[in-house]
Every structure is written in C-alpha cells, then in structure tokens.
Amino acid sequence: MEAKGEKRSYAFRVRYAETDQMGIAHHSNYFVWFEAGRSDYCRDLGVPYPEWERHGVFLPVVEARCRYKSPLRYDELATLEVFPVECGAAAMTFGYHLRHADGKLAAEGWTKHAFADAEGRLIRGGNEFIERLKSAIFSA
C-alpha cells in the first residue's frame, strides 16, 4: 500500500512474552504492534486517540491484514513504519512496514477503521472533529 501522508517510524525490542517456544515473535503480536504504532502516530500529530473519544469518535477495526516476510525473534530490535493510506467518508486506512534492524522487511500490513460513535453507529461526513483529523493526518 502506498503512503498518502507522512511516514513515521517507531523502534521497539521484541519481548520474551511476545515469542513462542522457538523464540520467534508470535503472529498475533504484529497487530498489537500496529495498534501501538498507530496510537503513537496520532499522538505525534497532535490528535491523541483519547481526544477522539472525548469528541465521540471511535475507530473500530473493520478489516486487517498482515503479510509475514521474515520472522522477528526475541530481543531483536525492530522498527515499525506507520503511514496513512486512504480516507473515505466513513473509514480510514493505515499501512505498516515492520523492519529488522538491518532494514529487511519482516512484515507489512494495513488496518481499516470505521468512524463510529460510542454506540458503534457509523459517522458519515459532516463531523467537524473528523475533518480536523483528516486534515492533520493526510497533510502531515
């Protein structure tokens, strides 16, 4: 997926609890890392996720994908690149590249999030806060 806004990178180390018996990062953790990176990305742009919720905007995941290329291992330093991909009237998609310390691609993926209210109903256009978010994220 192609970035439609600024890419940001976040380094982390694979923890023991995130690995299986062979010392390889368990596949489920990749989505946890994607979420942490997305939260940091929004915070860095000045629109932290708690502010979204205070304005009644929630981002449930409606689609997710991860393609595993090369396994990450216990105590390995990795870098997650996060970037916006697209934004429609009722949803936003973020892309992710997860890299080994040497830059080799470990995994790539994306998550698509609906704009919803606290009851889970879609918010479609006309929301001032969502328009501000789009502007902040896609003009970064």
Token code pair at residue 11: 């380094």
Q: Identify the weakest region by mean pLDDT among 43-52, 55-64, 102-111.
A: 43-52
- Give the pTM: 0.91
Evaluate whether residue 25 is within a structural domain.
yes
Residue 64 has what pLDDT? 98
Half-sphere exposure of 134 (CA within 13 A, CB side): 16
Evaluate whether residue 78 is within a structural domain.
yes
Please state the domain count of the chain.
1
**DSSP states of 21-72 as a string?**
TTSBBPTTHHHHHHHHHHHHHHHHTT--HHHHHHTT-B--EEEEEEEE-S--
What is the H or E stretch that residue 92 is in?
strand 91-100
pLDDT tens string 102-111: 999 999 999 9
Rounded percentage of the chain residues whose pLDDT exceeds 70: 99
Q: What is the mean pLDDT of residues 95-108?
A: 98
> Which residue's entry shows tokens 């502007």?
135
Which residue of the set 20, 44, 102, 117 is catalytic?
Answer: 20
Evaluate whether residue 55 is within a structural domain.
yes
Task: Encode burial over 30-68: b for 16+ CB neighbours within 10 A, e otherwise.
Answer: bbebbbebbebbbeebebebeebeeeebbbeeeeeebee
Q: Is 16 helix (H, G, I), strand (E, B) or coil?
A: helix
In the predicted structure, residue 139 carries a pLDDT above the cut 80: no
Cα–Cα distance, 76 to 101 (Å, whole number): 8
Evaluate whether residue 50 is within a structural domain.
yes
Residue range of the domain that includes 32:
8-138
pLDDT tens string 25-37: 999 999 999 999 9
CATH label of the domain that carries residue 28 = 3.10.129.10
State yes or no: is 20 an active-site residue. Answer: yes
